[in-house]
Amino acid sequence: MQDVSLTATTLPRPRLHLRGLIREILDTLILIGAIYALVNLATVRFIVDGHSMEPNFSTDQVLVVSRVDYLLTPPQRGDIIVFNPPNQPPDEPPYIKRVIGLPGEVVEIRDTQVYVDGRPLNEPYIKEACRPSRCPDNQWQLGPNQYFMMGDNRNNSSDSRVFGPVGLDRVIGEALVRYWPIDKWGVVKDIAYPQEAN
């Protein structure tokens, strides 16, 4: 019978390298900081103040607004945009409205109905029919890079009917997500475009 001897081999115990741990923590913090900075450069939070966009958006709701969308493609009709109105003092808060007219188009209000290039605009998103005193007959010819903005609550909105077309250089960005209050969370495209809208 052969004598078998077993030799115990001991594996080296893993050691915590303090320098490696500190580097991992620093790398993680730098990554978090970079992501935070990128998100803040690309987006801004906007708190709705006022009744001009009811019934779709109301006071104290918080939206995420993209600063980069319009670097790639121009605004489209129906987009919900945050912008600084023409001739507004720098300390005044920005406005939020819906894009109604695009560059080169003719926007007209006739008998309280909005027309774009002579065609009536289907607007199932508005709160109520506009009163004649708030929507008097008028016409605007939009130039290059000019947009006509209107609130969804036409009877309680200061918009392009008052201050005229808005240049693209005045646009802060497109509203993407409503995240507060939590029970009103939603993607703005889903909130702002009822199914029957064009």
Sorted by where each starts, the structural domains of the chain and their CATH numbers stand as: 45-192 (2.10.109.10)
Structure tokens that stand for 3 in this block:
């004598």
Q: Confidence class of residue 131 from pLDDT cuts 50, 70 and 90?
A: very high
pTM above 0.85? no
Catalytically annotated residues: 52, 97
Backbone angles phi, psi at 85, to 5 degrees: -60, 155
CB 46 within 8 A of CB 177: no
Weakest mean pLDDT among 47-56, 83-92, 132-141, 152-161: 83-92
Q: How far apart are CA 2 and CA 78, in angstroms?
A: 90
36-45's contacts with Cβ under 8 Å and 24+ in sequence apart are: 41/67, 42/66, 42/67, 42/68, 43/67, 43/173, 43/176, 44/82, 44/172, 44/173
Residue 14: pLDDT above 70? no
Count of Cβ atoms closer than 10 Å to residue 47 Cβ: 12
Residue 48: pLDDT above 50? yes
pLDDT given for residue 36 in this prediction: 62
